[in-house]
Chains A and B, each alone.
Chain A
Amino acid sequence: MASKKARPGRRLIIFGLIVAALYGGVALSGEWKPKLGLDLQGGQRITLEAATQSGQKPSPASLEEARGIIDQRVNGTGVTEAEVSTQGGRNIVVEVPGKNPKNLVDTVKQTAQLRFRLVAAMAPGQPQPSGSASPSASGSASPSGSATPSKAPTAGPKSSPSASPKGRAPVVLGGAHADKAKPSKSPSAKASAKPSTNPPASPTAVPSATPQANPAGAPVDQPLKWMDNPGTKWLKKFAAFTCPTGKQAAAPVVDNKNEPLVTCDGDGNKLLLSSALIEGTQLKKAEAGIPQNQVQWVVNLTFDSTARRTFADVTRQIANQTSPLTGQQKQFAIVLDGKVISAPTVNGVIPNGQAEISGNFSQKSAQTLANSLKYGALPLRFTVPVVTDEGPTLAADQLSAGLIAGAIGLGLVLIYCLLYYRGLGLVVMASLFIAGLVTYAVVLAMSQAVGFTLTLPGIAGLIVAVGITADSFIVYFERIRDEMRSGKSMRVAVEAGWVRARATCLAADAVSLLAAVVLYIFSIGVVKGFAFALGISTVIDLVVFFLFTKPMVSWLATFRFFSSGHKLSGLSPDHVGTNRPTPTSRPASAGGNA
């Protein structure tokens, strides 16, 4: 049976193409230096002062928790080697290597507290100039038709509810409500004293009758009931609240998840919201993306099972229902850090626990938000950060000393290989050189792609990895010699030895890859970066071994210098140790050893 002819040339060409593609990609991006770490290049330092929601000094436990969350946000992929620490019991210090985009500070600072609440009422945030406030209800309110629900964005059952911040008609409370409420049992004085915003020029909504209007309102911990009947206390608060204009600094909103909330959205409307139904802690996934057939970036949220059930229940109950309080379609609100970013209505049940936050998101802001949501809400608030530029922490000579040491070490390796393997040592030299080239290109590519940062230990690790790559070559060469010792010629031994050495190398590299993958998945911080580097170097080892070393040896075996066992080839009989004629001696008779 004729065996497949080894095609070393083809593999070498493929390998050459891969390396060329890698370097082509690097040349395109224009970056010829990898991103260096804090110790070699320095970077930026962001100092944030922490306070609790009520402005007190934070406890050590919550400061440590916040540090952990910020660490995860900054080190999300694990390869940027940023350092996050606490300082003085009050500050959190973030050190990030290199130059960073502006939104890094936002990522770090954002509390990212996400809550889903039901909307009880909505109104313009500022008092409108038209008309006067009419606390008494006597028919002055115009019972005109319903507001324009068509403008309000609706949510479909399959797709995620998307909300555009514009185009919702404000809801008017007030006179009409009191009007309707009069015939009912509640004390009309209280009803008429209900706060009302002035009816705007646009068609107003007539709140439908609330036969069971109760001044005390439904209990706060039942948001579905409460949204229909918030009670006078909350409605009063709502009326008295005005949204800060752009010029004023926003007063910090105290967002208590068990209490209703009065807050504003991005358009200057104020909303009265029930207590929280679903919290950010129940998020399973948060990702930025562009939905199909659209061009705006959105953040896709996926909730865990309890939240999914709650969400399905709530959407079932409020889908296409109109609120008795406002006459509008019922809405729920997505509240981030105490501000409403979206308040869509619901068209149907949403059973799959997925929601989408849309708005004027750019790619960066959508990714920032997704990143902030992913790791949980910070338990503290942070003040305006102080950003400074940091110099490198290592003396300049450390890097050069490290590189020189690496070069010396590799040089010694090459000398030893040449001495011991002679001609084959050339293959080792070429393979190590190629492995170094490929490693450099991959590091550059990773710097661009995932922000992989190289510290001095990282450089040392890569140098060591290149040395370990030589181990697979040694296994192969020793196998070739073993095969030659058992009597095969050199060219046959190259192929036979390859089969055995390949299995050994694959098994051993599988262990390394297993370590890299498992550690990358499970760990965070420095260990995650190490796992990434280990994975890269193992893959490079395999690629160089399969696509370069083996074809090179096969190709060299075609030369008589090697196959006839020249003294300097490394495979001469006395070098292999078989000081006897190589086993091609034929028996004297034609019939064999019969």
Chain B
Amino acid sequence: MSKLSNIGHALYEGKISIDFVGRKWLWYSISGVIVLLAVYGLVGKGLNLGIEFKGGVEYQVSMPANQTTQANVTKIRDAVARTALDNKITAAEAPIVNTSGPKNIRIQTEPLTNDQATLVSTAVQKAVGVDSSAVSRDAIGATWGAQVANRALLGLGVFLVLVVLFIWAYFREWKMSVGAIVALAHDLVITVGVYALSGFEVTPATVTGILTILGFSLYDTVVVFDKVRENTKNLARTRQTYAEAANLAINQTLVRSINTSIVALLPVGALLYVGVVSLGSGALKDLALALFVGMAAGAYSSIFIATPLVVQLKELEPGIRAGDARAIRHRNRRQVDPYASVPVFSEDMPISEEPGAEPEPDRVDAEDERGVPAGSTSRPARYTAGERPASRPVSPSASAKRAQPSRKPRSQRGKS
């Protein structure tokens, strides 16, 4: 594991640098392909909606009280599921079976045609040994009505508006809001598309899973953007282009992102594995799939989609473009003469003439918007921050680290 931390350290220093921002078109095209697949799945295959959304069919089997047991419930459930598999009745593959009152067992499936319904009824009768008079059938409506969906969408809409405002306010950068929303949409489309392609049932549990993804994706994006903001705050001082600073930020948090993804995906992966392999069906499987795909997509999109997009948008700004050009020029100049910025000392130099104390006139740039003197990075360590001019006469001191103010002797004071 220390190998990984060495890599982590190298990433932090910038010695190793994976070019996330530079290769953005590669990431965009990968995402584009996945999103296209997802949309094709949604449009072409459609979602497999559960009973709560579509309504369905309900059977009531009346049985004597001593036979209305959980064992019979399981028997009926297995029988119906098997019949559905054998006859390719997808609507009855995951029936909901439970006891209802002391003398009834209730079975719910998605809507069936008449033939399918008869097949299911026969299977039930055979499983517990009743005749057809004991089995009654009814249509049931959806529990998740249009009203719930509409209110949920309204809530989502309000939330998205508020999140855009919040990210804008916190990062002082509306382009980051755009990046976050694009990443979010990307994750949602992929998750829903995976559902369509895989044919897993969409239940209200799925909906809550997708909402969890929403939260997680934004959470991850905010953490990455926080580091990006920290790095891009002082572009003048560090002489980096925006893209480089952003890329360094991603690299510095790469270890954290990997760890977070692993830690978040491990429980979900366990749930998914158990749900698919050992149980075969049920609420666990549906929820776990949404969470797994969504969280993986969320972690991916924060790094590969959101930040390059923000960099792209920022580079459209004239201020950033000028700053980037300056940084590149500065770097080129440095490479020509690497010793150009080393100050040259001589004894008893007055402060004002000491190299590094005054801004190096950057003759090429007439307007320097950044306002920080260019030579400040090469200032010798003995001067602390504070480029303010001394308010009293100061003299260079040989022993103390800081220049000390000088005071005239008493006899000389008051006379200039």
Contacts and interface: CB of A to CB of B under 8 A. Distances in A.
A495 interface: no
A508 B205 contact: no
Interface of A is mostly: helix
Nearest to A412: B266
A452 to B, nearest CB: 14
A119 interface: no
A18 interface: no
Contacts of B275: 401, 405
A577 B223 contact: no
Nearest to B68: A391
A485 B99 CA distance: 63
Contacts of A507: 170, 222, 226
Interface in B247-293: 252-253, 255-256, 259-260, 262-264, 266-271, 273-275, 278-279, 282-284, 287-288, 291
Nearest to B180: A511
A561 interface: no
Interface stretch (A207-215, A454-462, A543-551): A454-462
Contact of B267 (A84, A89, A396, A406): A406
A514 interface: yes
Which of B156, B256, B263 has its CB near the most chain A CB atoms (within 10 A)?
A: B263
B100 interface: yes
B12 A512 contact: no
Interface stretch (A288-296, A342-350, A525-533): A525-533
Contacts, number: 283
B151 A527 contact: yes
A515 B166 CA distance: 12
B278 A401 contact: yes
A527 B211 contact: yes
A514 B162 contact: yes
B284 A504 contact: no
Which of A503, A576, A577 has its CB near the most chain B CB atoms (within 10 A)?
A: A577
B124 interface: no
B45 interface: no
A245 interface: no
A413 B263 contact: yes
Contacts of A531: 155
B415 interface: no
B270 A470 contact: no
B139 A89 contact: yes
Nearest to B398: A594
Interface string A206-225: 00000000000000000000
Interface in A389-410: 389-398, 401-402, 404-406, 408-410
Given A455-B283, A475-B260, A512-B219, 20 more contacts: A87-B141, A89-B139, A389-B99, A392-B98, A412-B270, A456-B205, A456-B284, A460-B284, A460-B287, A482-B12, A485-B13, A507-B222, A510-B166, A511-B215, A514-B163, A515-B159, A526-B204, A526-B207, A527-B211, A575-B1
5 contacts: A393-B98, A395-B282, A401-B278, A478-B253, A523-B151
Interface of A: 39, 42, 45, 64, 67-68, 71, 83-89, 93, 388-398, 401-402, 404-406, 408-410, 412-413, 416-417, 419-420, 455-457, 460-461, 463-464, 466-468, 470-471, 474-475, 478, 481-482, 485, 500, 503-504, 507-512, 514-515, 518-519, 521-527, 530-531, 534, 574-579, 591-594
